[in-house]
């Protein structure tokens, strides 16, 4: 399926908002007059000035909220390392992982032999997760039934014990399920898909794009970053006109670890 990125919300008139903040820094304007005269041309002029001076704090006044789905937990772990942002992620405690969807790396997908091995491993983990989850739930139910004198056949198999208890106390059964998920999720793989909503300010986004649009970034988060960049370029084209990997407007910051394709990257992102 692949990652899907949606721009859910952003600061109204983000470029003008940044220009207002910049104007306040460099003029005697009162707050009530800070918006005056900020037409499209003047706004672009302020943004160009900020870029030339390296003055990025006014850029922080514009924020962008993304919905990201179909990415792996391996990718989301990289994403949340960008600490100047806010995140809300789908919980593996509250969401059943019995039949999880998963991401397959392209190089594995291209090989029938490796795909077979990969899928078999994930099917084993799904089955193990279900058995662990059910076993943990049933153990809690059996103890609860014993302590409270409930008329449940505790000698039945785990699924029947769960079904019997659910018919008696659906809410309590749901609570036991969440407790079981807490421990069963420890064996879920990084391949599991997840959903996440994240909010970045524009300055943090520029840093994110510099690192994650780079050829040396892992393929999955690089795809996410490039989708995010296309979306914010539509919302604030001048603000993100120079966004992209570090090599686009200067020397490659990776030094000896460079991919050696700076010219290609400049052509692509400019």
**What is the rounded CA–CA span in Å between residue 263 and residue 270?**
11
Written as six digits, the tokens of 205 are 């986004």
Order of strands across the sheet with 85-89?
4-10, 63-72, 193-201, 85-89
Written as six digits, the tokens of 96 are 């059943």
Q: Check if the beta carbon of residue 199 is closer than 8 Å to that of residue 63.
A: yes
**What is the rounded CA–CA span in Å between residue 165 and residue 162?**
5
Catalytic (active-site) positions: 212
Give the burial string for 252-269 (b: 16+ CB within 10 Å, else e): bebeeebeeebeebeeeb
């Amino acid at each position: 399926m692949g990652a899907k990125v949606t721009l859910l919300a952003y600061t109204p008139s983000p470029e003008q908002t940044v220009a207002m903040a910049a104007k306040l820094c460099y003029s005697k304007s009162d707050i009530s007059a800070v918006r005056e005269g900020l037409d499209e041309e003047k706004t672009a002029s302020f943004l160009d000035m900020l870029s030339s001076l390296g003055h990025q704090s006014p850029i922080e006044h514009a924020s962008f909220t993304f919905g990201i789905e179909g990415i792996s937990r391996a990718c989301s772990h990289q994403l949340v390392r960008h600490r100047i942002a806010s995140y809300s992620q789908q919980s593996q405690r509250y969401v059943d992982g019995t039949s999880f969807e998963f991401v397959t790396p392209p190089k594995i997908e291209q090989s029938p032999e490796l795909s077979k091995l990969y899928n078999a491993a994930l099917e084993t983990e799904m089955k193990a997760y279900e058995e662990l989850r059910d076993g943990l739930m049933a153990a809690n139910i059996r103890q609860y039934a014993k302590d409270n004198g409930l008329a449940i056949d505790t000698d039945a198999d785990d699924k029947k014990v769960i079904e019997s208890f659910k018919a008696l106390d659906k809410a309590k059964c749901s609570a036991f399920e969440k407790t079981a998920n807490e421990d069963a999720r420890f064996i879920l793989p990084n391949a599991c898909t997840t959903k996440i909503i994240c909010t970045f300010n524009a300055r943090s986004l520029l840093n994110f794009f510099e690192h994650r649009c780079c050829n040396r970034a892992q393929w999955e988060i690089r795809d996410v970053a490039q989708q995010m960049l296309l979306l914010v370029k539509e919302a604030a084209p001048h603000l993100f006109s120079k966004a992209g990997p570090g090599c686009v407007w200067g020397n490659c910051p990776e030094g000896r670890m460079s991919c050696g394709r700076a010219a290609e990257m400049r052509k692509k992102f400019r």
